[in-house]
């Protein structure tokens, strides 16, 4: 089963790019400056920001389904980040270097399965979970802090 990791679209965050710290704070968004790498994983570019990068820390509803699994959590987005499109069966380094919680959902947003895996071993887990015909997509979270990291779909 082939898969593709999908980052969040930059179009969701473009209206926030370049806003002042005060304008962002009025929207409940904190500005952080990356001071180590890795440590500030951007959900749009699917890479860890370089030290000195301006990061937006905001709450994002990654699971909007009208089920008990509806969910939002804090995420980082690098100010000015652009979309990326990892290759088929490619696990971006931002995921590979972390311990991941992978959650399988059906088309209605009900959770079907969940696995904790080392990022470097995630590809076969993605394939196995997506081989279930009842699974529509996967959500990947950083296991340590629970932050949403990316979506995984059939390629």
Tokens at 134, concatenated = 């009842």
Q: What is the pLDDT of residue 58?
A: 98
Using CA atoms, how far residue 36 sits from 32, 39, 103, 147, in Å, is 12, 6, 28, 18
Instruction: Name 138's bridge partners.
Output: 104, 152
Rounded CA-CA distance 95/69 in Å is 22
- Sign of CA pseudo-dihedral 88, 101, 131, 108: negative
Q: State pLDDT tens for residues 83-124.
A: 999 999 999 999 999 999 999 999 999 999 999 999 999 999
Q: Which residues of the chain have pLDDT under 50?
A: none
Q: Taking the CA atoms of 95, 97, 98 and 101 in sequence, report the sign of the dihedral they define.
A: positive
Find how far residue 141's CA is from the centre of its chain.
Answer: 7
Please tell me the predicted confidence (pLDDT) of residue 42: 98
What was the pLDDT predicted at 141? 98
Domain ranges of the chain: 3-154
> What integer pLDDT is reported at residue 45 of this predicted model?
98
Residues in contact with 9: Cβ distance below 8 Å, sequence separation at least 6, in sequence order: 44, 83
- What pLDDT score was predicted for residue 106? 98
């Amino acid at each position: 089963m082939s898969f593709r990791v999908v980052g969040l679209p930059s179009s969701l965050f473009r209206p926030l790019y370049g806003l002042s710290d005060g304008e962002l704070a009025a929207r409940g968004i904190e500005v952080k400056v990356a001071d180590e790498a890795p440590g500030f994983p951007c959900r749009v570019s699917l890479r860890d920001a370089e030290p000195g990068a301006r990061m937006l820390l905001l709450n994002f509803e990654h699971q909007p389904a009208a089920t008990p699994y509806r969910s939002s959590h804090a995420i980082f987005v690098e100010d000015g980040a652009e979309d990326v499109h990892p290759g088929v069966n490619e696990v971006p380094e931002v995921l590979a270097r972390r311990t991941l919680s992978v959650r399988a959902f059906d088309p209605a947003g009900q959770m079907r399965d969940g696995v904790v895996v080392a990022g470097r071993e995630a590809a076969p887990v993605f394939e196995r979970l997506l081989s279930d015909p009842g699974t529509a997509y996967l959500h990947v979270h950083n296991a340590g802090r629970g932050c949403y990291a990316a979506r995984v779909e059939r390629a």
